[in-house]
Amino acid sequence: MKIAVCDDEKEIQQQISDNQKHMEQIEVLYADMRAFRHDMGNHVTVLEPLIRQEADDDGLLWFDLIVMLQIS
């Protein structure tokens, strides 16, 4: 009976360890998403006045640059 308890404790410890690693990965993904949203907000802030001022070519060039950077 003592061996079974020991195995159960090891299994529980492994599950806790796995869950902690998973949470760390989720936190990294969340931080990356927040950074991405922040960057996109900055891009929109730059694009909006360019497009509103009918400087469409400048706005489109900026947009194309952003798209190329996101792909690479």
The residue ranges of every structural domain in the chain are 2-71
Phi, psi of 12 (to 5 degrees): -65, -45
CB within 8 A of 51, min separation 6: which ones?
59
Total length of the chain: 72
| The predicted structure's pLDDT at residue 40 | 82
The amino acid at residue 37 is: R
| The predicted structure's pLDDT at residue 16 | 95
Instruction: Give yes or no for a contact between 43 and 59, defined as CB atoms under 8 angstroms apart.
Output: no
Q: Over the chain (72 residues), what is each successive 10-residue block's mean pLDDT?
A: 70 94 97 90 79 70 75 64
| The predicted structure's pLDDT at residue 69 | 75
Measured distance between the N- and C-terminal CA atoms of the chain, rounded to whole angstroms: 57
